[in-house]
Amino acid sequence: MKREGSRASLLAQVRAAMIAQADEKRAPQMQAYMKSAMPYHGVPAVPMRAICKRLFSPLVFAGFRDWEREVRAMWDGAKFREERYAAIELTKLRAARAFQTPDAMPLYEMMITSGAWWDVVDDLATHNVGALVRSHPPMKKTMRAWSKSPDMWKARTSIICQVLAKKDTDLDLLYACIEPSLSSRASNEFFLRKAIGWALRAYAWVDPREVKRYVKENESRLSGLSKREALKNV
């Protein structure tokens, strides 16, 4: 990444900008709502993204490894949750579009498994991983493997990675990724039951009859939560 002299690290710049807009009263409320062990600065999503846009827009990366190092440094060095969000924003830059290949999956897998909560996982799953699945068909095999993972967040990612795909949804992949979670594990895991319902509901905007058929056919295996979510807009 191009730097100017002894300029402060990108994380230090982000942290300073966040501190300048921090809301000490809001911060503990945000932390409590998200049930986060990591504290918050108290910067809501809109100003957080504005900070990232201002600091990240001028960046130019020498190549994939340069970009990956910056993302990992931001993620690993984060002391506040908004700094983790900033690391995710760093993955979405126009300047990083060329790096959105299967080579990025180990990075996203690390962020998903170490982030291990819905705010981080869902953003990465629906945007980053989802885009890779659509643009690189071999990634579907990875999602099928993730659907069977003992790591709940990888399983959730496999289920919801197509929620933005609309008519381009691969139904065979969706149902294959749901299948391993139609089990006793799903009955005890809110985030898997919710994911199943969310993924089906998203596809119902495209083909409600198909979703109704699937829910009816699997009625005895789907949880009540999954069924309610799936049929919410049908």
8 Å CB contact between 100 and 116: no
Residue 6 reports pLDDT greater than 70: no
How many Cα atoms are found within 13 Å in the side-chain-facing hemisphere of 42?
11
Tokens of 78: 């984060």
pLDDT (0 to 100) of residue 183: 75
pLDDT, tens digit, 9 for 90 and up, residues 134-143: 999 999 999 9
Q: Which CATH class is domain 1-99?
A: mainly alpha
Number of H helices, E strands in the chain: 15, 0
Contact, 17 vs 56, CB < 8 A?
Answer: no
CB 233 within 8 Å of CB 201: yes
Residues 116/153, Cβ–Cβ less than 8 Å: yes
The single-letter DSSP state of residue 94 is: G
pLDDT confidence of residue 184: 60
Mean pLDDT of 13-37: 97
Q: pLDDT digit string (tens) for 149-193? A: 999 999 999 999 999 999 999 999 999 999 999 976 665 699 999
Query: For the range 17-21, what are the long-range contacts, defined as Cβ-Cβ under 8 Å and sequence gap of 24 or more?
Result: 17/51, 17/54, 17/55, 18/43, 18/48, 18/51, 18/80, 18/82, 18/83, 18/86, 21/47, 21/51
Q: How far is CA 196 from CA 11, 123, 164, 217, 230, in A?
A: 36, 16, 14, 15, 8
Q: How confident is the model at residue 8 (pLDDT cuts 50, 70, 90)?
A: low
Domain regions of the chain by residue span: 1-99, 101-234
Global pTM reads: 0.94
Q: What percent of the chain has pLDDT over 90?
A: 93
The per-residue pLDDT for range 72-112, each reduced to its tens digit, is: 999 999 999 999 999 999 999 999 999 999 999 999 999 99
The pLDDT value given to residue 5: 33
Query: Average pLDDT over the chain, rounded to whole?
Result: 94
The CATH architecture to which 101-234 belongs is Alpha Horseshoe (1.25)
Domains 1-99 and 101-234 in one fold: yes
